[in-house]
């Protein structure tokens, strides 16, 4: 019986034989192991945001379609023994709130942080914020940074919807 099964499997596999080709993760896009301020500004400018303003070296204020505002801040810059540029970036957005909303927003932040690991929600004395940290020192492409920005926008939309629901707005 085993011989029959083996013979059938061998015959089927011969009929499906195709040449094997090695997979490659190497593309043609440039890989950055650190991003200079100019590198990041170029990547962000290509996104076509409504507004992109560098307020100081490595800090960019961005407004996207619909008026959503976020800040990108480069971190761990020009570290000794590392490539020129910054090894990470923080993407953040924040919203003010009134004092009576704080307990609701604190509960929401705890629940959100437990459900989603893609970003971190923090409640400050006068604002609630969401942050996503992107590490670049392992090597990233422009496309990867673009996807990270889009992921941040997507998770921010989720947070906004949850805040509206929790606050009854």
Tell me the pLDDT of the chain averaged across its residues: 86
Whether pLDDT at 1 is above 50: no
Contact criterion met (CB below 8 Å) for 62 and 70: yes
pTM: 0.79
Q: List the one residue out of 146, 132, 134 whose CA is nearest residue 42.
A: 146
pLDDT at residue number 14: 42
141: which residues sit within 8 A by CB, 6+ positions away?
Answer: 27, 29, 30, 31, 32
Q: How far apart are CA 28 and CA 9, in angstroms?
A: 39
Q: What percent of the chain shows pLDDT beyond 70?
A: 84
Provide mean pLDDT across the span 105-132.
96
Q: What is the pLDDT of residue 13?
A: 45
* Confidence band, pLDDT 50/70/90 cuts, at residue 16: very low
Q: What is the CATH number of domain 29-167?
A: 3.30.1460.10
Domain boundaries, the chain: 29-167
Residue at token pair 């991003």: 35
Nearest residue to 131 via CA among 116, 144, 146, 121: 121
* pLDDT single digits (tens) 21-65: 444 456 678 899 999 999 999 999 999 999 999 999 999 999 999
Quote the pLDDT of residue 25: 58
Residue 138 confidence (pLDDT): 82
Rounded CA-CA distance 143/92 in Å is 19
Region 115-143: what's the mean pLDDT?
93
């Amino acid at each position: 019986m085993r011989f029959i099964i083996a013979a059938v499997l061998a015959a089927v596999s011969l009929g499906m034989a195709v040449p094997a080709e090695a997979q490659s993760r190497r593309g043609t896009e440039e890989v950055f192991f650190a991003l200079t301020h100019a590198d990041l500004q170029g990547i962000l400018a290509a996104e076509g945001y409504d507004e992109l303003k560098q307020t100081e070296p490595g800090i960019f204020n961005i407004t996207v379609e619909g008026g959503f505002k976020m800040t990108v801040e480069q971190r761990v810059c020009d570290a000794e023994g590392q490539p020129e540029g910054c090894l990470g970036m923080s993407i953040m957005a924040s919203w003010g709130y009134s004092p009576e909303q704080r307990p609701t927003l604190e509960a929401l932040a705890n629940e959100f942080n437990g459900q989603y690991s893609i970003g971190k929600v923090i409640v400050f004395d006068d604002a609630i914020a969401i942050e996503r940290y992107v590490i670049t020192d392992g090597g990233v492409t422009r496309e990867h940074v673009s996807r990270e920005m889009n992921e941040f926008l997507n998770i921010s939309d989720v947070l906004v919807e949850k805040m509206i629901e929790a606050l009854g707005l």
